A and B are shown apart, each in its own frame.
Chain A
Amino acid sequence: MLRLDELETLSRLSAGDLSPHEAAQLRADLERRPELAAALEQLTSLNRAAEALPQTIGASELEMLVARVARPRRNLIEARFAITAGLAAAALVVVAARLSFANREPRPRLVALSGSVRLDGRALSSPSQAIALQSGSVVDCGAESASIIESRQAMVLLARESELALISDAPATFALQRGTLAATGPAVHLAAGDARFELNGRGVLSWEPEDELVRVTSGMETKEPAKLGFKWLRLPVAATAAAVGAVTLFVLEGRARVTLDSTAPVEVAAGQKWSSGSTRPSPIATSAALTASAEPVDSNPNQKTASSVKTTLETLSRDQLVSEVKRLKGENATLSQQNKEMQKRLHELDPKTAAQTENFYRTTPEELRARAEHGEVRLHPPALIDEGSHTFNPDLVRDVGLQPSEEAEIRNIYARSNQRLQDGLTSIYIGIGGDANVASTLDISGLLHEIGTKTPRQDVQAAGLIASRERAGLEQPSNPNEGSGVLRAYRLFWREEDQVLQELDQLLGPDRAEQFINHRNMSHNTIATRVRP
């Protein structure tokens, strides 16, 4: 049997990728070694077979597929011409659609409950309105976050630091990418790795190490279970013993079926767990382990301390007791102060707090100078990019007192900005050698990324330093249209940021514009880089 590297060399020969010397050497080998010559023949057959692979979809299925494809919205004038001609066809389509989709379940809906939840990379404000998920949507819960996804047959709570993708919406199938989710419903379809789960009841699916599982499930208990219709249990530590680095399903009520490509389906009953490392389900824990773990983790040491203190107190005199009370009061005051300081520091370090305190309206000169010291660049691309259809959070509308006409104009402001950024970045990208048609397939972040990859590393770093100094007013560009692609892209983002703020100022007045921009329910995109630590 020939080695892989020999087969690769044959492929290079057939593609003309060998140097003349290498090719001559290989041709000599081909004459000496019949098995090599035979492999070259086989390679030719393989290439032909690959080019002649058949279609994977039949003609009728293809027509149905084409009919189902959503068309972009057309403008009103064009649509009017189409209305008459398409009226009869539309009636048929409506009837067909009603017949075809009558039994389809509605799209699963996502509600971001708390913290930093991202949908397809876009940050959502929490709590969010119910958002319909598309097949392929990815929900990413950050630290201190949680979100809930509901379909007709299932309710899924995605815990913090977890990621989930909707891989099918008929039936709704949720693929856990990492972290933990809890689910309940009569037919919950889940996937993780190469395993598929159909849960009828209530369970927890986890794909992370043991200690993480304990932490996450503990956190989930605090999410107002009564409101969500869940009855959360603290999973006993013993239950997670097999969960290290593996996919684990805990069935708390009802039953589940686990399917893997390679093995027969496995039935998992209530009180059992299934792990990817084992072929059969096993009990979650013994009743003794459940009882032991039902106690708070830190309660046992306290009980022991209280017991020993009680014994000691009985032996003390009154003076000793007064002295002990005084000491404990002092210790209590010190601990209380330490606790306050630690809570304050913890609050400051919380990313959510940092996000809430960031000023998105106009960064102060001091903040800009501080950023310039580190070569820190913060860009805020338009967050409301779904032109024409963005719905503002009701709290935001109420607090800022937005009128419908103002909402419409804000959408226009962001849509125009988005278009200018798209055009400007495309122009920069093409200017540094990018292909126009490749550019047409990229969105704003994609274009920025491509511009970054086409710019030498040292120029990217220099751009960060120069741009942050320019933004802080410490340096004036000799010519704003000169410099590396990345530097010009940074300037473009900031011009747009300023332009959007200026237009919002004109529309709402500076005070309301600031209130709008910095409202807790306003969503923001932030791209940040830093040259120096």
Chain B
Amino acid sequence: MELDEATIQRARRGDRGAQDAFLRRYAGPLHALLKRAGTLNTEDAVQELLAKLLSVLPRFNPAGSAMLTTWVFTVAHRWLLDQRKRRHLTLVPLEQALDIADRTPGADRMLEQKQMSSLLESAIARLPDEQRRIFLLAQVHQQPLEALAAVEGVPVGTVKSRLHRARAQLLALMAPVLRKLEGEGHASPRRA
């Protein structure tokens, strides 16, 4: 749920209570984003990112077209890109990822042991960095593709391509599990 405009204004002016409301609203989603994006020491990183958000919050223009959530994720997106420049992340190329998935002997057993979400988490972790970033922001956190394109510095079409590519890869990685779920008549997880 978005914060109301009065709370945003108070948070911008440095009101502690409003800042807490702001932090509580975004700490969870940002933790999820950074953790799934493969950020090391996630809690420290989220703490740093939230402090940065508070420091630049006075620059957010509530009258502007972008909603606060989009603005927050834009800052987070830039932060992720900046971290990527700083650190060498270990990426698993698609071909290798597919090999791993295909050769996994215990896919059936995993299905019994783990929930769909944890399997999806591990499949997301295998995506190449730029596809994972776009998938998380666009699909999991529902950020507009135009905003993602602006931060990535690429056309919207490129963002769409990365997103479709990511979905295709995830589908390939998870097909055995999804087929098994369908075969056993498991209900697809629904959005709460």
Q: Do A and B bind each other?
A: yes
A residues contacting B by CB (< 8 A) are 1-2, 4-5, 7-8, 10-12, 15, 17, 38-39, 41-57, 61-63, 65-66, 68-72, 74, 78, 82, 86, 134-136, 138, 165, 167-170, 175, 177, 193-194, 435-438, 440-442, 446, 453
CB distance from B85 to the nearest CB of A (A): 9
CB <8 Å contact, B121 and A441: no
A-B contact pairs, 20 of them (CB 8 A): A8-B168, A11-B167, A12-B160, A51-B139, A51-B142, A52-B117, A53-B32, A53-B120, A56-B35, A62-B31, A70-B51, A71-B19, A71-B51, A138-B86, A168-B44, A170-B44, A193-B88, A193-B90, A194-B90, A438-B151
Residues on A with beta carbons closer than 8 Å to the beta carbon of B55: 72
Known: A46-B178, A55-B28. A66 touches B171 (CB 8 A): no
Across the A-B interface, give the 6 residue pairs with the lowest CB-CB distance, nearest first: A440-B59, A7-B168, A11-B164, A11-B167, A45-B188, A42-B178
Residues on B with beta carbons closer than 8 Å to the beta carbon of A135: 41, 44-45, 48
Between A82, A135, A169, A441, the greatest number of chain B beta carbons within 10 A of the residue's beta carbon is seen for: A441
**Cα separation A49 to B135 with both chains bound (whole Å):** 13
CB distance from B162 to the nearest CB of A (A): 11
Q: Which of B87, B169, B190 contacts A48, CB < 8 Å?
A: B190
**Cα separation A69 to B167 with both chains bound (whole Å):** 35
Q: Which of A8, A436, A453 contacts B164, CB < 8 Å?
A: A8
CB <8 Å contact, B168 and A46: no
Residues on A with beta carbons closer than 8 Å to the beta carbon of B8: none
CB <8 Å contact, B139 and A168: no
CB <8 Å contact, A39 and B117: no
**Cα separation A373 to B48 with both chains bound (whole Å):** 45
B103 located at the interface, meaning its Cβ lies under 8 Å from any Cβ of chain A in the complex: no
**Cα separation A223 to B65 with both chains bound (whole Å):** 56
Closest chain A residue, CB of each to CB of B36: A56
CB distance from A127 to the nearest CB of B (A): 25
CB <8 Å contact, A39 and B120: no
B61 located at the interface, meaning its Cβ lies under 8 Å from any Cβ of chain A in the complex: yes
B residues 116-132 with Cβ under 8 Å of A? 116-117, 120-121
CB <8 Å contact, B150 and A47: no
CB <8 Å contact, B41 and A167: yes
CB <8 Å contact, A45 and B178: yes
**Cα separation A406 to B167 with both chains bound (whole Å):** 59
Known: A38-B182, A68-B47, A167-B87. A46 touches B120 (CB 8 A): yes
Q: Which of B23, B45, B174 contacts A69, CB < 8 Å?
A: B23
Q: Which of B66, B117, B172 contacts A435, CB < 8 Å?
A: B66
Q: Which of A72, A74, A177 contacts B88, CB < 8 Å?
A: A177
Closest chain A residue, CB of each to CB of B43: A65
Given contacts A11-B163, A70-B51, A165-B86, 8 further A-B contacts (CB under 8 A): A8-B168, A52-B190, A62-B28, A68-B47, A170-B44, A175-B88, A194-B90, A437-B64
Q: Which of B50, B94, B175, B189 contacts A42, CB < 8 Å?
A: B175
Residues on A with beta carbons closer than 8 Å to the beta carbon of B175: 1, 39, 42
Q: Which of A7, A62, A438 contacts B24, CB < 8 Å?
A: A62
CB <8 Å contact, B71 and A441: yes
**Cα separation A78 to B14 with both chains bound (whole Å):** 9
**Cα separation A49 to B147 with both chains bound (whole Å):** 23
Closest chain A residue, CB of each to CB of B32: A56
CB <8 Å contact, B171 and A52: no
B158 located at the interface, meaning its Cβ lies under 8 Å from any Cβ of chain A in the complex: no
Residues on A with beta carbons closer than 8 Å to the beta carbon of B70: 437
**Cα separation A122 to B158 with both chains bound (whole Å):** 32
CB distance from B34 to the nearest CB of A (A): 9
B111 located at the interface, meaning its Cβ lies under 8 Å from any Cβ of chain A in the complex: no
CB <8 Å contact, B66 and A437: yes
